Amino acid sequence: MTLKELLSLHPNPFDKEQTMRITKAFAFAQEAHKGQLRKSGEPYFVHPVETAAILSRMGMGSITITAALLHDVYEDTEVTLDEIRKEFGKEVAFIVEGVTKLGKVQLKGSDEEYYLENLRKMFLAMAQDIRVVLIRLADRLHNMRTLQFHPPEKQQRIAKETMEIYVPIANRFGIGELRGELEDLCFKYLDPKNYQLVEKLEEDLYREREQYVNLAIIELKKELKKKRVPVVDIHGRAKRYYSLFLKLKAHEMRIEDIYDLVAIRIIVPSISSCYEALGIVHQKYRPMIGRIKDYISLPKPNGYRSIHTTVFGPKGKIMEVQIRSERMHNEAEYGIAAHWIYAYRKENKSWLPDWRQALFGRDHSHKVPEDELTWVRQLKDWNEETQKAPDEFWQSLRIDFFKNHIFAFTPQGDVIELPEGGTPIDFAYAIHSEVGDQAQGALINRKMSALDTPIHNGDLVEIILTKDKKLPSRDWLEFVKTANARSRIKASLRKGGVELI
Ligand code: MN
């Protein structure tokens, strides 16, 4: 891929400064990786360019694309971080460093430990800069696309890791396009037999249906034009292999029960035109009862919005029609930030706990109070500017939104959220009041630590319990930081007959 191609993939044109930055990084990385080859025999430089291309297509800013071009330079070549900082600035160097650190996952212990370690690193990296995680996702996608050049055991390990760690994160970020491709690539390596089965099935069916899908597109275009509903695009869409496989499994492999094998997607300019278009589709083709899903009024938990309806299309054949605005389409395919802000505004509540829940798979009771999310409010006003100034936008996302919050881990990998300066006692009471009452010592990152030691972001904290102690220590009230710990200590002391002034 040439530099020109890379630049042209972006949905919006870059200005002069941005173009120069990317151009410089392109040449710099090409020089740095000179002579290095990939397993495929191609020059190594192909990999950072393809990684950057994935992000360019997603509409990421020039800083992100620059850092993506340089993402393996620090790790795999002679180039130092100082050089990157000097040539490309602090921000790019910071992201490259983050990506490198995130990639240095130590393989140790059981599979589960490895998994949690990854998740932890992802999480902490994200706390510092979401762009680091996006580059890692794009990097992984390109590596998955070229996995055939690796030995089978490595293919299995990487595909499994991708399915368990990268896919859920991509899903959570609402990057449907990237998630779908990652899933299909994993599916191919992890379950080749079923992959081939679905591949064959879809090919045959697609060929059979292509003709009437084209017919439906022509009919709908005509109808929408007649009723003056503006249309941005109408296209047919084949279902992703993995999601089709899951659906087939749920329907005991009966392909005739799957109605969205080939769907038509109508993209219109606004929300109101979505509903207008829906009316026209239903006038033209009889809808199937109980198959209208309005994810615009009720978005999916990851923010996905669209209207889906199943109709009896041309020749009475069943087909699915998806209707969405251009903005929704971009969000569903690529947009992470836009989607987050939208979800926040739409639900009019904090998305942060929900997001964390999805990432860690369980509910966390310590929700961030809404008034602490003012930066999110500021961000939503940026919304319209996002398209114009992606770099600034991403920079603002870097605002350390965990500044006043610390996330520490239990040995089981549970996340405990604490205020700044939180101690092992706050941590213990956050787990359970009994754990607090019986706390005798603490291991922070496997090192014995005093109970009033401030915990830091990412610390692994283990509370050592004693069986014989029934009451908490009164001294703890001097240093605990959470209201929860304070009130529980007092309650336990009172219950134990200790008088409190
Ligand atoms: Mn890489």
Residue 44 sits in a domain whose CATH number is 1.10.3210.10
In a domain, 182, yes or no: no
Helix (H, G, I), strand (E, B) or coil at 419: strand
In angstroms, rounded to a whole number, what is the distance separating the alpha carbons of residues 99 and 55? 14
Higher-pLDDT residue of 426 and 254 is 426
User: How confident is the model at residue 165, as a pLDDT?
Assistant: 78
In a domain, 341, yes or no: no
User: How confident is the model at residue 117, as a pLDDT?
Assistant: 63
Q: Judge if 9 and 144 occupy the same domain.
A: yes
Q: Is the dihedral of CA 216, 219, 222, 224 positive or negative?
A: negative
Please give the angle made by the CA atoms of 250, 254 and 255, to the nearest 5 degrees. Answer: 105
User: How confident is the model at residue 173, as a pLDDT?
Assistant: 64
In angstroms, rounded to a whole number, what is the distance separating the alpha carbons of residues 152 and 299? 40
Digit-coded pLDDT (tens) for 339-386: 443 333 333 333 333 333 333 333 333 333 333 333 333 333 333 333
Q: Are 93 and 84 in contact (CB under 8 A)?
A: yes
Helices 46-57 & 62-69 angle (0-180, nearest 10): 160
Residues 6+ apart with CB under 8 A from 148: 155
User: How confident is the model at residue 80, as a pLDDT?
Assistant: 94
First to last CA, the chain: 73
Residue 407: CATH number of its domain: 3.10.20.30
Higher-pLDDT residue of 432 and 107 is 432
User: 53: CA distance to ligand 1 center in Å?
Assistant: 13
Digit-coded pLDDT (tens) for 245-280: 998 888 888 877 777 777 899 999 999 999 999 999
Parallel/antiparallel/unpaired status of strands 262-268 and 233-238: antiparallel
The band of 172, judged by pLDDT with boundaries at 50, 70 and 90, is low
User: 79: CA distance to ligand 1 center in Å?
Assistant: 15
In angstroms, rounded to a whole number, what is the distance separating the alpha carbons of residues 480 and 164? 37
The proportion of the chain whose per-residue pLDDT surpasses 70, expressed as a percent, equals 78
Give the global pTM.
Answer: 0.66
Q: Judge if 169 and 29 occupy the same domain.
A: yes
**How far, CA to CA in Å, does 75 sit from each of 40, 49, 78, 100, 221?**
20, 16, 8, 6, 52
Q: Judge if 45 and 166 occupy the same domain.
A: yes
In angstroms, rounded to a whole number, what is the distance separating the alpha carbons of residues 29 and 68? 10
Question: Highest-confidence range of 60-64, 416-420, 424-428, 445-449, by mean pLDDT?
Answer: 424-428
Q: Judge if 25 and 128 occupy the same domain.
A: yes
**How far, CA to CA in Å, does 64 sit from each of 133, 138, 203, 316?**
11, 11, 37, 48
Which region among 174-178, 376-380, 409-413 has the lowest average model confidence (pLDDT)?
376-380
Q: Judge if 232 and 159 occupy the same domain.
A: no
Helix (H, G, I), strand (E, B) or coil at 439: strand
User: How confident is the model at residue 59, as a pLDDT?
Assistant: 74
In angstroms, rounded to a whole number, what is the distance separating the alpha carbons of residues 125 and 107? 18
Percent composition of the chain: helix, strand, coil (DSSP 3-state, to 5)? 60, 10, 30
Buried b (16+ CB within 10 A) or exposed e, 217-248: beebeebbeeeebeeeebebebbbbbbbbebb
User: 138: CA distance to ligand 1 center in Å?
Assistant: 9
In a domain, 369, yes or no: no
Helix (H, G, I), strand (E, B) or coil at 267: strand
Q: Judge if 198 and 166 occupy the same domain.
A: no
User: 358: CA distance to ligand 1 center in Å?
Assistant: 26
Length, in residues, of the chain: 501
In angstroms, rounded to a whole number, what is the distance separating the alpha carbons of residues 308 and 321? 6
Higher-pLDDT residue of 10 and 321 is 321
- Could you give the dihedral angle defined by the CA atoms of residues 289, 290, 294 and 297, in that order, rounded to the nearest 10 degrees? 120
Instruction: Single out the residue in 125, 140, 173 at which a domain terminates.
Output: 173
The band of 397, judged by pLDDT with boundaries at 50, 70 and 90, is very low
In angstroms, rounded to a whole number, what is the distance separating the alpha carbons of residues 489 and 196? 60
- Catalytic residue numbers read 75-76
The proportion of the chain whose per-residue pLDDT surpasses 90, expressed as a percent, equals 43
pLDDT at 88 > cutoff 80: yes
In a domain, 206, yes or no: yes
User: How confident is the model at residue 161, as a pLDDT?
Assistant: 82
Q: Judge if 10 and 105 occupy the same domain.
A: yes
Q: Judge if 216 and 133 occupy the same domain.
A: no
289-312: average pLDDT: 84
User: How confident is the model at residue 367, as a pLDDT?
Assistant: 35
Digit-coded pLDDT (tens) for 34-49: 999 998 899 999 999 9
User: 153: CA distance to ligand 1 center in Å?
Assistant: 20
Instruction: Single out the residue in 139, 173, 207 at which a domain terminates.
Output: 173
- Could you give the dihedral angle defined by the CA atoms of residues 85, 91, 93 and 94, in that order, rounded to the nearest 10 degrees? 140
**How far, CA to CA in Å, does 151 sit from each of 39, 128, 154, 156, 181?**
10, 35, 6, 9, 21
Q: Judge if 316 and 243 occupy the same domain.
A: yes
Digit-coded pLDDT (tens) for 184-199: 999 999 999 999 999 9
User: How confident is the model at residue 128, as a pLDDT?
Assistant: 63
Digit-coded pLDDT (tens) for 110-167: 566 666 666 666 666 665 677 788 899 999 999 999 999 999 999 998 998 888 778 8
In a domain, 464, yes or no: yes
Boundaries of domain holding 147: 3-173
Q: Please provide the average confidence, as pLDDT, over all residues in the chain.
A: 80
Residue 307: CATH number of its domain: 3.30.460.10
- Number of domains, the chain: 3
Digit-coded pLDDT (tens) for 213-240: 889 999 999 999 999 999 989 988 777 8
In angstroms, rounded to a whole number, what is the distance separating the alpha carbons of residues 283 and 370? 44
Q: Is the dihedral of CA 348, 354, 355, 358 positive or negative?
A: negative
User: 102: CA distance to ligand 1 center in Å?
Assistant: 11
Q: Judge if 214 and 287 occupy the same domain.
A: yes
Digit-coded pLDDT (tens) for 62-75: 888 999 999 999 98
380-407: average pLDDT: 46
User: 48: CA distance to ligand 1 center in Å?
Assistant: 6
User: 389: CA distance to ligand 1 center in Å?
Assistant: 26
User: 72: CA distance to ligand 1 center in Å?
Assistant: 5
Q: Which amino acid is at 96?
A: V
User: 91: CA distance to ligand 1 center in Å?
Assistant: 19
pLDDT at 60 > cutoff 70: yes
